[in-house]
Amino acid sequence: MKEDDKEPNGFSKAKHKTEELLENGEKLSKLLEEAKEKAEEKKGKLKSAWNDFQALLRLVTAWRKKEYQEIPWKTILCAASAIFYFVSPLDFVPDFIPIAGFLDDITVIGFVTNSLKGDIEKFKEWENEK
């Protein structure tokens, strides 16, 4: 993640909460499952962020399963934090608020995928090779 990137509102708090999730495999697996279900349910609202979010899910899942470990800790933390932010009902703009509720989720997903572009591309290359 580039140091000069300004994090979206609420993302720093999500990163803090995500750190402990990353240390607990069971909680992380539950988060990933919830995220997959919510993403499928809200696919139409995610629109352009759908593919990016799916890449984040695959990346963190592969890291969790110890299949893909060649990645900086900061990248995993940010990717997992975006997933946590998406799942959390207490994000900066709650999802029940029409339109704006998902715009902040899409903003966070876009911010993270743009910030981690190089690491995500390396992961996709690894996926294609396996």
- Given the structure tokens 């919830």, which residue do they identify? 34
Task: Quote the pLDDT of residue 100.
Answer: 54
Confidence of residue 99 (pLDDT cuts 50, 70, 90): low
Render pLDDT for 50-66 as a digit per residue (tens, 0 to 9). Answer: 999 999 999 999 999 99
Q: How far apart are CA 123 and CA 82, in angstroms?
A: 17
- CA quadruple 90, 3, 125, 70: dihedral sign: negative
Per-domain residue ranges of the chain: 19-129
Could you tell me the pTM of the whole model?
Answer: 0.84
The phi, psi pair for 67, rounded to 5°, reads: -85, -30
